[in-house]
Amino acid sequence: MEKKKIAVLFGGQSSEHEVSCVSAATIISSIDTDKYDVILIGITKEGRWLKAESLEDVRTGAWRDSKINAVLSPDAVHKGLLILEDGRAKVIQVDVVFPALHGLYGEDGTVQGLLELAGIPYVGCGVVASAVAMDKFFTKIIADTLHIRQAKYVPVRSYELKDMEQVIARIEREQSYPVFVKPSNAGSSCGVSRAADRDGLAAALKLAAQYDKKILVEEAIIGREVECAVLGGNDPKASEVGEILAAADFYDYDAKYNSPESRTVIAPELPEGVREEIRRAAVEIFRAVDAFGLSRVDFFIEKDTNEVVFNEINTLPGFTAISMYPMLWEAMGISKRELVDRLIELASVR
């Protein structure tokens, strides 16, 4: 039987470009090449689409020197890639696309919209779920309808920062220090910081504004950080729960990817009933945003009350060696190879 062609997209123009490349390497090495032919397409930070020749090129970054352009054709007749080399163009039809992209222009519904135009099945959430879950402000609006507790928040638009004193005064009327300041559209904790006073808040708002026009200022939840993976289509299932033990005040980009002191614990000891509540809420939120295929849902367990507090949902979670999503499913007996295979199969039945 002829093998299906799988195109893996990685890199991208977001602040999570490097993480995406590492995730892609894990995904590519987990694809069953007895079943699939794999085409590797890297997107540079400048937005160029290039064909990578090997997994090793993805790992080393040599793909960025490729002379072969390969772009997704929005023409639904093509259903594939336009390969541009030596002044010539050819079409390679693709059966499924695996967008191993994190952040803007990859996880936010933009690539998903292009794939819908092209009529090509793809792994993961659709346009609406991707866009809504990427935008933390709209995720919070949806979560409010579920009556699942989440951190109190104050929305801020970047143009409002022209009058910083007024913005800070409004925040202080609704929140007490410390607070967390986040870009509404960003991942891997890029642009997120903790503010303990007015000066820190002003600096945090300016930093977040570098990443997005919309900013969230959230109350600080003191407690444990936990995550739950969701997998499936019409009948999604929740994984075991994992806990983050960050080597910093919070699990920022450096603590996630650069600090050997940060650790993750699979199936930690939790108060009675909390594990089930987290798994149930993860699936409920997954369904509420119309997610499909995969997502990782993040929560806090408040220190003094043991209440579960929803943090955010990630529709294209990391697949690095230290990423929680694949580790949680491995704890449930699903290897990375089987997990990737299931995701590809789900793409064909959405």
Question: For residue range 278-303, what is the model confidence (pLDDT) as tens digits?
Answer: 999 999 999 999 999 999 999 999 99
Q: Whole-angstrom Cα distance, residue 153 to residue 166?
A: 17
> Would you say residue 259 has pLDDT above 50?
no
Q: Which residue has the tokens 């402000």?
A: 137
For 265-274, how does the pLDDT look when each residue is reduced to its tens digit (9 = 90+)?
999 999 999 9
Q: Which pLDDT score is estimated for 321?
A: 86
> Would you say residue 257 has pLDDT above 90?
no
> Would you say residue 32 has pLDDT above 60?
yes
Q: Which pLDDT score is estimated for 15?
A: 85
Q: Whole-angstrom Cα distance, residue 204 to residue 184?
A: 13
Task: Say whether 265 sits in a helix, a strand or coil.
Answer: strand
Neighbour-count burial for 117-141, b at 16+ CB within 10 Å, e otherwise? ebebbbbbbbbebbbbbbbbbbbbe
Q: Where are the domains of the chain?
A: 4-122, 132-149+222-347, 153-219
What is the percent of the chain where pLDDT is above 70? 94
DSSP secondary structure string for all residues of 306-348: --EEEEEEESS---STT-HHHHHHHHTT--HHHHHHHHHHHHT
Residue 87 — pLDDT band, cuts 50, 70, 90?
Answer: confident
Q: Which pLDDT score is estimated for 253?
A: 46
Strand-pair partners of 310: 150, 299
Q: Which pLDDT score is estimated for 252?
A: 47
Q: Which pLDDT score is estimated for 197?
A: 97
Q: Whole-angstrom Cα distance, residue 344 to residue 27?
A: 11
For 204-240, how does the pLDDT look when each residue is reduced to its tens digit (9 = 90+)?
999 999 989 999 999 999 999 999 999 999 999 999 9
Strand-pair partners of 250: none
Q: Whole-angstrom Cα distance, residue 231 to residue 344?
A: 12
For 7-19, how does the pLDDT look when each residue is reduced to its tens digit (9 = 90+)?
999 999 988 999 9
Strand order in the sheet with 223-232: 263-266, 237-245, 223-232, 293-302, 308-314
| Residues 6+ away with beta carbon under 8 Å from 192 | 180, 181, 182, 183, 186, 208, 250, 252
Contact 285, 313 (CB under 8 A): yes
Write out the CATH class of domain 132-149+222-347: alpha beta
Q: Domain 4-122 maps to which CATH number in 3.40.50.2300, 1.10.4160.10, 3.40.50.20, 3.20.20.140?
A: 3.40.50.20
Which amino acid makes up residue 6? I
Contact 160, 213 (CB under 8 A): no
For 139-175, how does the pLDDT look when each residue is reduced to its tens digit (9 = 90+)?
999 999 998 999 999 999 999 999 999 999 999 999 9
Q: Which pLDDT score is estimated for 262?
A: 63
Q: Which pLDDT score is estimated for 190?
A: 78
Strand-pair partners of 83: 70, 90
Contact 299, 226 (CB under 8 A): yes
CA 34 to chain CA centroid, Å, is 29
What is the percent of the chain where pLDDT is above 90? 87
Residue 187 — pLDDT band, cuts 50, 70, 90?
Answer: low
Mean of all residue pLDDT scores within the chain: 93
Q: Which pLDDT score is estimated for 194?
A: 94
Domain 153-219 of CATH type 3.30.1490.20: yes
Look at strands 4-11 and 96-99 and give their pairing.
parallel
Q: Which pLDDT score is estimated for 188?
A: 55
Q: Whole-angstrom Cα distance, residue 202 to residue 165?
A: 9
Q: Which pLDDT score is estimated for 196?
A: 96
> Would you say residue 258 has pLDDT above 50?
no
> Would you say residue 127 has pLDDT above 90?
yes
321 or 132: which carries more pLDDT confidence? Answer: 132
